Amino acid sequence: MNLDRDRLWADIETLAGFTRPDSPWTRRAFSPEFDAARAWLARAFAEAGLAVRLDACANLIGRRAGAEPGLPVLMSGSHCDTVPAGGRFDGIAGVAAALAFARALRESGTALRHPFEVVDFLSEEPSDYGVSSVGSRAIAGRLSPEHLAMTDAAGETLAQAIARAGGDPAALDRPLRRPGEIAAYVELHIEQGRVLEAAGLPIGVVDRIVGIARHALVVTGRTDHAGSTPMDARLDALAGAARVIAAVEALARDLTGKPDYVVATVGKIAAFPNAANAVPGRVEMVLDLRAGSDATLAAFPELLKSRCDLGPLGFEIAPISLAPATLCAKPVTEAIAAAADRLGLGHRALPSGAGHDAVNAALVAPAGMIFIPCRDGRSHVPEEWCSPEELHDGARVLAETLLDLDRRL
Ligand SMILES: [Zn+2]
């Protein structure tokens, strides 16, 4: 089976071209550029011999029938939306690679035992409605009435936007796929990190997608005059917050690699009253904590507290949200590694520090991900880049993996 490298690359360039011209590469879900990209994708799916439909959450699906009746579907894809001023590969690389496999099946006359579906999930990136991974949430029944009622700046609800994209929000009160309906889900994606590039390896076998916990960190002191309050009489909440931030960084450095991948970031901070001539009386921060195991996620807040001696200042940690770590399915990760071996492509296991549609797919199916390198590990920026060879190697591993799973599952 021949995966056409130049055609795959041309598909990436065509899809990337559906961008807001004033801000490449921007293709926000529900935007005119997004609609145009999807119209092109639907035609490309059809030309590859796939039966094209939108499901109730406006996930774009192209399906090829399987030879053996009654078998569950093999699924591969990703998303074609981007963050504002994002890159040309995040998301569409996985859709284009799955499409290339469908084309190769058709052109080589290869019959799979299982049905095969290429999926372009709706709105994986954080949408203007405040929800991310909209389409993949729906397949697992994780799009709640509260999510559907969220609005964008213009007051449109997510439900209305899904209907505008061709979905049927009234049917989203139940999972769109049941366990057993999907034999396996395999997603190719750029790594969005530097591990593969640094190791000189073309293929990453994702073994887990980190869990993400967000916590509100609040340091309380007392607001006083910056000139007339001596140093020994202050309760400076921002000076305390600085010690908390340093402790967050030190703790994550100490924990990571033993054995979990751990990263922790204080990326959002508000000081009150935030005036040049006032001792800060209160600081509110958000801790973004990611780890390869739920136990590490759970232990972090108490460890942090034990490391922060803030004296008379108040320090509270309150959970905001928790998405548990996702383990990729062994049969899928083993198939990916074996496929890379057969193709003579070096590989290593690694965690994904970013969330993906595969997190939701894993709730209803054995799921795995193939990472390909991206230059300097940069992603969600216009400079995001991988080479035609790197993309093609990843797509070949995807195809080989799917052929293998089709034989064995
Ligand atoms: Zn992505």
pLDDT at 146: 95
**Cα 352 to ligand 1 centre (Å):** 11
Cα of 132 to ligand 1 centre, how many Å?
11
Length of the chain: 409
- For residue 88, give the nearest of 381, 405, 354 by alpha carbon: 381
Predicted pLDDT of residue 290: 95
| Ligand 1 center–CA 188 separation, angstroms | 9
pLDDT value at residue 285: 97
pLDDT tens profile 94-112: 999 999 999 999 999 999 9
Per-chain residues with Cβ under 5 A from ion ligand 1: 90-91
| Confidence at residue 321, expressed as pLDDT on a 0 to 100 scale | 87
What domains can you pick out in the chain, each with its CATH number? 5-209+325-408 (3.40.630.10), 211-323 (3.30.70.360)
In the three-class reduction of DSSP (H, G, I as helix; E, B as strand; rest coil), residue 286 is classed as strand
User: Cβ(357)–Cβ(135) under 8 Å?
Assistant: yes
User: How many angstroms is it from 140 CA to the middle of ligand 1?
Assistant: 18
Mean pLDDT of 172-200: 97
Long-range CB pairs of 48-53, under 8 A, 24+ apart, other chains included: 48/99, 48/102, 48/103, 48/106, 48/118, 49/102, 49/105, 49/106, 50/102, 50/118
CA of 89 relative to ligand 1 center, distance in Å: 8
20-47 residue pLDDT tens:
999 999 999 999 999 999 999 999 999 9
Angstrom distances, CA of residue 170 to CA of 124, 133, 143: 20, 18, 12
What is the percent of the chain where pLDDT is above 70?
A: 100
The whole-chain average pLDDT of the chain stands at 97
Q: What was the pLDDT predicted at 124?
A: 97
Q: Assign 1 a pLDDT band (cuts: 50, 70, 90).
A: confident
As a whole number of Å, the end-to-end CA separation of the chain is: 20
228 Cα: distance to centroid of ligand 1 (angstroms):
52
pLDDT in tens, 195-222: 999 999 999 999 999 999 999 999 999 9
408 Cα to the center of ligand 1, angstroms: 28
Beta strand 116-121 with 203-209 is unpaired
Which pLDDT belongs to residue 287?
Answer: 97
Distance 91 CA to ligand 1 centre (A): 4
Average pLDDT in the 248-252 region? 98
Give the residue-averaged pLDDT of 266-271.
96
158, 134 in Cβ contact below 8 A?
yes
| Exposure letters 374-387 (e unless 16+ CB within 10 A, then b) | bbebbbeeeebbbe
Cα 93 to averaged position of ligand 1 atoms, centre (Å): 9
The distance from CA 221 to its chain's CA centroid, rounded to whole angstroms, is 38
Q: Ligand 1 centroid vs 226 CA: distance in angstroms?
A: 46
Cα(241) to ligand 1 centroid in Å equals 33
Question: How many Cβ atoms are within 10 Å of 159's Cβ, its own excluded?
Answer: 21
* 369 CA → ligand 1 middle, Å: 11
Examine the pLDDT at 361 and tell me if it is beyond 90.
Answer: yes
Cα 174 to ligand 1 centroid, rounded to whole Å? 25
Query: What is the CA(325)–ligand 1 centre distance, in A?
Result: 17
**What confidence tier does 170 reach under pLDDT thresholds 50, 70, 90?**
very high
